[in-house]
Amino acid sequence: MSAAQRAQMLQAWFSPGYPVGAFAYSHGLEWAIERREVADAAALSDWIHTCLTEGSGWNDAILLVQAAGDAAEVEALADLSNALSAGAERYREALDLGDAFARVTTAAWGRDVPAAPYPVAVGCAARVHGVPVEEIVPLYLHAFAANLVSVAVRLVPLGQTDGQAVLAATTSTIAEVADRAVRATLDDLGGLAQRADLASLHHETQHVRLYRT
Q: pLDDT-based confidence at 71, cuts 50/70/90?
A: confident
Q: What pLDDT digit, counting tens, does each position of 127-174 carry?
A: 999 999 999 999 999 999 999 999 999 999 999 999 999 999 999 999
Q: What percent of the chain shows pLDDT beyond 90?
A: 96
Please give the Cα distance from 199 to 35 (Å, whole number).
10
- 76 φψ region: left (φ > 0), alpha (ψ -120 to 50), beta (else): alpha
Residue 75 has pLDDT above 90, yes or no: yes
Find the mean pLDDT for residues 9-36: 97
Q: Domain 35-203: which CATH class?
A: mainly alpha
Please give the pLDDT value at position 70: 86
Please give the Cα distance from 15 to 35 (Å, whole number).
30
Residue 184 has pLDDT above 90, yes or no: yes
Q: Is the pTM of this model over 0.85?
A: yes
Q: pLDDT-based confidence at 61, cuts 50/70/90?
A: very high
Residue 119 has pLDDT above 90, yes or no: yes
Average confidence score pLDDT of the chain: 96
Please give the Cα distance from 148 to 193 (Å, whole number).
15
- The DSSP result for the chain, as a single string, is --HHHHHHHHHHHTSTTSTT-GGG--TTHHHHHHTTSS-SHHHHHHHHHHHHHHSHHHHHHHHHHHHHH-GGGHHHHHHHHHHT--SHHHHHHHHHHHHHHHHHHHHHHSS------HHHHHHHHHHHTT--HHHHHHHHHHHHHHHHHHHHHHHTT--HHHHHHHHHHTHHHHHHHHHHHHH--GGG-----HHHHHHHHHHTT-SS-SS--
Residue 210 has pLDDT above 90, yes or no: yes
Would you say 162 and 41 are in contact if contact means Cβ atoms under 8 Å apart? Answer: yes
Q: What pLDDT digit, counting tens, does each position of 88-113 carry?
A: 999 999 999 999 999 999 999 999 99
Q: pLDDT-based confidence at 72, cuts 50/70/90?
A: confident
Please give the Cα distance from 15 to 32 (Å, whole number).
26
Neighbours of 135 (CB within 10 A): 14
Residue 1 has pLDDT above 90, yes or no: no
Find the mean pLDDT for residues 61-81: 95
Residue 60 has pLDDT above 90, yes or no: yes
